[in-house]
Amino acid sequence: MNRARPAFVLAAALLLVAGMIPLSASASTIWRFNLYRSGSYVSQDPYYTACTAAAVMTMLNITDLADTGGAGFRWTVFRTKNSPDRSVVRDMTSILWFERTHDTLASGRPGSDAHGWRNALNYYGWGWSAMTDPEMRIYDDRAYGSFDGALKAAVVAIARFHKPVGVLAWAGGHAQIATGYVATGEDPATSDNFVVNGLWLTDPLRSNGIVNRYINWLSLKSGDLTYRFQTYREVDSPLDDPYTVGWRRSSVRSTSSEWYRRWVLIVPIRDGLPEATPTPTPSPTPTPTPTPPADSPPPDPSPSSAPDSTPGSTPSSTPDPLASASSTQDPSASPSPALSAAPSDAPSDAAPSDGPSAAP
């Protein structure tokens, strides 16, 4: 009896195993996307409490270079950390000072928090209304109950709005930036049916050596602490976010606060400023023509009183139609145009000028 050759047996076994693989897994697509642009990076060094301010500049620089800011975007690439010119209010130390005056951090604490980071992104990128009006907010801080839920939200935000995402790293003690992703499944730009393989990260702290570096899922989950994505455990943001409806402490040692023990991101939530809704022009209501009641008898005419023919009586005066006509405007004359103030659409870069020029 002939014995089957080992190679033939191995090939048959491989075909059998291949047939057991689900079609959905074998047909999965890998999606890669990265927004990072050369010339966008701003390191925080030597200002070691300015990670959020450096992240604001890098994120807005990327958005400008990628031309994805949408309606109302006003930032242009800028990388100065501490300008000697006091009129410059968008250098890194000025942004840090702005964050400190618009965050929810306890007084005297170094750096800023997620609200200061979010508010600076919106103000410097799209103006005052984007910071103060939740309906016009471009970036928002979001807290997630699971690691995978947060990673998926980061990928969706990058894929659909083409803007970088802020990552609250080091358990909330540091700012990093996600600029891209690798995902398997359906396209994250149009579907939620995918799994995250990893993210491209950039860290403002130059000594960490993480600039446009790919970090896979396992390393983000349990890798080195310099890039491991952990729950937020800072407890020094006891204040409420004044630009969001409701009252809630931002982060204290309680899960009733907004960020504590959750994975926190700063994510884009819209392409640009929404268009203003035009005020509708009211339509005049037509006046109905009165209808006389049916079967009403005609009025009985009364004889008018006879004119007084007594000599010396003076008849009542009648208005002169020519006198009235003389005060009527000439219809051929062109009316003078009314003056109206033209609103200015140019956003202001001005920020309070009495702040320190260096980070605390």
**Candidate from 168-172, 174-178, 253-257, 334-338 with smallest mean pLDDT:** 334-338
Length of the chain in terms of residues written: 360
What are the sequence ranges of the domains in the chain? 30-268
**Candidate from 183-187, 202-206, 239-243, 323-327 with smallest mean pLDDT:** 323-327
pLDDT band at 151 (very low <50, low <70, confident <90, very high): very high
Q: What tens digit of pLDDT does each residue of 248-287 get? A: 999 999 999 999 999 999 999 999 999 876 666 666 666 6
| Mean pLDDT rounded to a whole number for the chain | 81
Listed as own residue / partner, the contacts of 197-203 with beta carbons closer than 8 Å and 24 or more positions apart are 197/30, 199/151, 199/154, 199/155, 200/34, 200/36, 201/167, 201/176, 201/177, 201/227, 202/36, 202/41, 202/58, 202/176, 202/177, 203/169, 203/174, 203/176, 203/177, 203/227
The alpha carbon torsion through 65, 71, 76, 79 (nearest 10 deg) reads -80
**Candidate from 74-88, 139-153, 175-189, 288-302 with smallest mean pLDDT:** 288-302
